[in-house]
Structure 1
Amino acid sequence: MKVLLLTLILVVALSFSTIGAEYKIGAAVYGLKGEYMRLWSTALERHPAVKNGLVEITVFDGKYDASVQYSQFENMSVQGYDAIIFVPIDVEAGAAAVAVAVSNGIPVIGSNTRVNSEQLTSYIGSDDVRSGYMEAKAVVEAMGGKGKVVIIEGPIGQSAQISRREGNLKALEEYPGIEVLEMKTANWSRAEALNLMENWLNAHPGEIDGVIGQNDEMALGAIQAIKIAGFDPVDFAIAGIDGVTDAMLAVKKGELDLSILQDAKAQAQGALDLALRAIIGESYEPQADCWTDYPEFEWGETMKDIYNVPWTPITTDNIKKLMAEREELTNK
């Protein structure tokens, strides 16, 4: 009898945990190993509409596998989700997942990484070509416009890798005195980048002057490899993208010439506002801070196809403020 009573209490408690949530929204993200997507997910879960009970949000870990993400879309379609926020691992393969949701009447909002699908309701992210250009230019300028660089790429076929490479190469074309020694993927992984950089330091002894990491995790892996090899990272020009916590600290210590903050909170919470707009209609008023944080970033009278959150270069002037904001996001 006691067991039955406890079971009934548990069922009631679980039921009450979703009472008041008018909308069920899923977020299918490519993977949660790296800090950036964990920050993105935390920010999403702290959106005012989730905290006030309007939305029940579920984050699905895609395990860096397009087939896993496809299966998650199938499950969400069967389970009657009201909208899906999509951060795809593959720019092409993700289109099939979007089609599954749309065929079941579920709007899909893209965020952070792109998918080649005309069926997306809207997309919010940041211009990756721009960030790739910015980081490569920072490395080259720190090298005095000449020397040899290596480029550590993201997962081949993901939109951020494609666009950041485009930006990297666009910047390097402006400097005929720069030679690219190596360009390979480390899949956004600090550990893989460490191994890659160790191999390159052995293959090109004394030749590497700069490291262009298409995200911070990989730039930090390169810094670790440089230290293990007995060199000082300060003697290399190194840049990354995302503004993860360790990258901010590396900028502060002078080990990283540049990290560019990709605003995870703005991308995640902005995506949820857009998802609610797709469900409720144009009468919905946004609740996230991002629409007022950036003067050039407008909600608009009608939903647009693309919203680009501005990049913020991390410098010694703004790092204290940015680290305080990071601490606020990561603290419970």
Structure 2
Amino acid sequence: MRKRKRCLLLAAVCLLCIGGCAGKDVQEPEGGFIIGVVTKSRNSEYWMSVNAGMEKAAKEMNVKTVILSPDTETDKKIQKKMIRDLLKMKVDALAVSPIDSNDNQDYYLQAQELEIPVYSYDTPIADVEVPYIGIDNEKVGYELAKVLAEEMGHKGNIAIIAGSREQTSHEKRIAGFEKYMEQEPDMHIEVEKSGYSNLRVSEQEMAEIQSNYPDLDGIMTTSAVTALGLAEATKGSGIAIASVDDQEDAIRAVEEGRITVLGAQSGYDIGYETVKYIVNDKKGVKQDREKILVTQILTRENVEDYQNLKK
């Protein structure tokens, strides 16, 4: 059976970046220090930004990356197969953003046997100890809650519509949010729903939620893609929305008042800093086990300044 190439995620000079679906062969790169990367999906602006940051760092630091991506953040088995494919290639390092933070021991032990160091980025791995590059998700959840409470006048009812609770990034954002809300006696979390990683909430789904909880004043969601769907579904309702991720369509929604507060987690910076961290590790540079990146909390009042700084 002839080999079939995986579909390219992004192309760059001096960079091998392969993405695609399970069941296809991976072409083995030639020479140089090679970082195998597995993302959680490839169908959002956020993950394209992560890949772009990795490309930039790899080019600057004269290394190669092989990037594999499941179609969606629910493709846990496919992600595991991609990890095994990279280990078969005997890459020099492995960076994973896990779909399930608590199911990583099998490939971690295999990587140890092959003397391939493992790193987590964007989302921490919970069941084994590896370096982590990303934001402080619990702190971001706490800060989002604080600003949302101010915007809502410290009173009202809230729904939490989150991504997969199997991912510590979503779990910790919720934990931080709930921790702050303990000090708000006139604010109440009416309902929690999960499983919306990289999925837009449809108008029908939101209508059902509003039918069951007609007195909602605010929504906290852990993914900007989900927040954009919520903003569309709740248009004109006056419901305040808090979310996370730094992507242009979400930032525009903040500018237009469709998203009330946004934790700007830069996918580009996470991608860039992940490659930089791994290269420094290879060189023997002393580093903390966690590389925590800054997150800006954006509202309509400061989003223009943030955009100007990015230019």
Query: Equivalences for 1:1-332 in 2 at 5 Å?
Result: 22-47=32-57, 50-52=58-60, 54-63=62-71, 64=73, 65-120=75-130, 122-192=131-201, 194-205=203-214, 207-227=215-235, 232=236, 235-282=238-285, 302-316=286-300, 318-320=302-304, 322-323=306-307
Shift of 1:97: 2.5
Separation of aligned partners in 2, 1:318 and 1:147:
24
The alignment covers a number of residue pairs equal to 284
For the 8 Å contact 2:165–2:195, the answer to whether it is kept is no
Secondary structure of the residue that 2:225 maps to in structure 1? helix
Separation of aligned partners in 2, 1:80 and 1:324:
43
For the 8 Å contact 2:144–2:297, the answer to whether it is kept is no
TM superposition score normalised by structure 2 = 0.83
Query: Amino acid of the residue matched to residue 109 of structure 2?
Result: A
For the 8 Å contact 1:192–1:221, the answer to whether it is kept is yes
Evaluate the alpha carbon distance shift between residue 74 and residue 190 of structure 1 in structure 2; reply closer, same or farther with a 3 A threshold: closer
Shift of 1:216: 1.6
For the 8 Å contact 1:154–1:161, the answer to whether it is kept is yes
Unaligned 5+ segments in structure 1 are 1-15, 283-301
Which 10-residue stretch deviates more, 62-71 or 90-99? 62-71
For the 8 Å contact 1:40–1:267, the answer to whether it is kept is yes
For the 8 Å contact 1:112–1:126, the answer to whether it is kept is yes
Q: Name which one, 1 or 2, has greater alpha-carbon Rg.
A: 1
Shift of 1:115: 0.7
- What percent of counterpart residues are identical? 23
Query: Amino acid of the residue matched to residue 307 of structure 1?
Result: K
CA deviation vs aligned residue, 1:10-59 (integer Å, no higher than 9, x gap): xxxxxx98799621111111112222122111111122xx3257212111
Evaluate the alpha carbon distance shift between residue 197 and residue 138 of structure 1 in structure 2; reply closer, same or farther with a 3 A threshold: farther
Separation of aligned partners in 2, 1:167 and 1:53:
36
- Partner of residue 22, structure 2: none
Separation of aligned partners in 1, 2:225 and 2:111:
32
CA deviation vs aligned residue, 1:93-143 (integer Å, no higher than 9, x gap): 1333322222211111211101124442x2111111011111122222212
Secondary structure of the residue that 2:259 maps to in structure 1? coil
Separation of aligned partners in 2, 1:66 and 1:76:
16
Runs ≥4 residues deviating over 4 A: 16-21
Secondary structure of the residue that 1:46 maps to in structure 2? helix
For the 8 Å contact 2:163–2:197, the answer to whether it is kept is yes
Unaligned 5+ segments in structure 2 are 1-13, 17-28
Secondary structure of the residue that 2:161 maps to in structure 1? strand
Shift of 1:87: 0.7
Evaluate the alpha carbon distance shift between residue 317 and residue 238 of structure 1 in structure 2; reply closer, same or farther with a 3 A threshold: closer
Evaluate the alpha carbon distance shift between residue 195 and residue 130 of structure 1 in structure 2; reply closer, same or farther with a 3 A threshold: farther
Secondary structure of the residue that 2:90 maps to in structure 1? coil
Separation of aligned partners in 1, 2:109 and 2:67:
20
Secondary structure of the residue that 1:192 maps to in structure 2? coil
Separation of aligned partners in 2, 1:247 and 1:194:
18
Evaluate the alpha carbon distance shift between residue 320 and residue 281 of structure 1 in structure 2; reply closer, same or farther with a 3 A threshold: same
